[in-house]
């Protein structure tokens, strides 16, 4: 009897492992990130970022490195738009690439729940060591000078929970100037970098992982108590519990990683 098991077990195990690996792709796309770095030059259009954010999420934007051969003055303008439906304004990315997006983003986005600010006359030349930091007077005015360090680079703060679009447009007064910048953007909410839609999932995976661990302990104890009467099906039940635990642990660690670093661990 016992020698019939390996042929039957191998395909089953393979199927289970395959399901485990394909599950993340099938369930939904990867969790939303919280940190981006991007290269921008004089030919790229406005940058568009989307994320489901909690209220009071702090959006930081800074120029990490730059190269301006000739002195130029930058105008950096950013717009935060809250929208209620998930797939609103799907055309923005394409329009930005084709340089068809109008100057006044808020007017285009119907002016409701839209906040915009800009910093003008940011000097850039080849002698400069650090790029001038951006600020939002509305936000930094609230805090006092000693807190300034902590609120560095905060350009916007969300005012409600939900879907947001963040647009950054970088311009110079001379159209023919050649420059390129490496910019960094982060969106850090009250729970970390995790997006508001992924936060409940992260809690779910954590709870399920604990539940599976408890099942596993219970099942092991029972199996140890009745080890003389164990049937093959009981081994399979143990395998299912183990796979469930592994799946939840992998998901939880990925979400936890995004929450603390803002980046996906590309495994």
Ligand X SMILES: *[C@@H]1O[C@H](CO)[C@@H](O)[C@H](O)[C@H]1NC(C)=O
| Residue numbers at the binding site for ligand X (CB under 6 A) | 39, 55-56, 65-67, 144, 146, 159-160, 180, 182
Q: Are 182 and 131 in contact (CB under 8 A)?
A: no
Residue placing its CB nearer to ligand X in the complex, 45 or 162: 162
Residue placing its CB nearer to ligand X in the complex, 67 or 221: 67
Q: How many residues does the chain have?
A: 267
Residue 205, SS3?
Answer: helix
Strand-pairing partners, residue 186, are: 35, 60
Residue placing its CB nearer to ligand X in the complex, 31 or 52: 52
CB of 188 to ligand X, least distance (A): 15
CB of 67 to ligand X, least distance (A): 4
E strand or H helix at 244, and its extent?
Answer: helix 232-261
Residue with the shortest CB distance to ligand X:
65
Interatomic CA distance for residues 188 and 59, integer angstroms:
7
CB of 58 to ligand X, least distance (A): 12
CB of 99 to ligand X, least distance (A): 21
Residue placing its CB nearer to ligand X in the complex, 180 or 261: 180
Residue placing its CB nearer to ligand X in the complex, 39 or 107: 39
Q: Are 45 and 99 in contact (CB under 8 A)?
A: yes
Sign of CA dihedral 171, 176, 177, 182: positive
CB of 241 to ligand X, least distance (A): 41
Interatomic CA distance for residues 198 and 258, integer angstroms:
10
Q: Are 157 and 59 in contact (CB under 8 A)?
A: yes
């Amino acid at each position: 009897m016992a020698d019939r098991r390996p042929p039957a077990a191998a395909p089953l195990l393979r199927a289970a492992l395959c399901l485990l690996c394909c599950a993340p792709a099938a369930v939904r796309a990867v969790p939303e990130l919280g940190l981006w770095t991007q290269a921008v030059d004089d030919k790229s259009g406005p940058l568009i970022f989307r994320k489901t954010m909690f209220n009071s999420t702090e959006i930081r934007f800074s120029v990490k490195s730059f190269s301006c051969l000739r002195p130029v003055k930058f105008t950096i303008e950013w717009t935060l738009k809250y929208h209620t439906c998930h797939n609103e304004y799907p055309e923005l990315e394409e329009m930005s690439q084709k340089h068809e997006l109008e100057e006044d983003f808020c007017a285009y986005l119907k002016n409701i729940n839209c906040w915009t600010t800009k910093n003008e006359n940011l000097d850039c030349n080849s002698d400069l060591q650090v790029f001038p930091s951006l600020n939002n007077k509305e936000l930094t005015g609230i805090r006092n000078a000693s807190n300034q360090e902590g609120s560095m680079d905060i350009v916007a703060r969300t005012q409600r929970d939900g879907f947001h679009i963040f647009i950054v447009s970088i311009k110079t007064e001379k159209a023919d100037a050649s420059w390129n910048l490496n910019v960094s953007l982060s969106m850090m909410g009250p729970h970390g970098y995790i997006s508001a839609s992924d936060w409940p999932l992260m809690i779910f995976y954590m709870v399920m992982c604990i539940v599976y661990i408890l099942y596993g302990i219970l099942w092991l104890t029972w199996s140890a108590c009745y080890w003389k009467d164990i049937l093959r099906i009981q081994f399979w039940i143990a395998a299912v519990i183990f796979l469930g635990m592994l799946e939840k642990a992998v998901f939880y660690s990925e979400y936890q990683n995004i929450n603390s670093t803002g980046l996906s661990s590309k495994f």
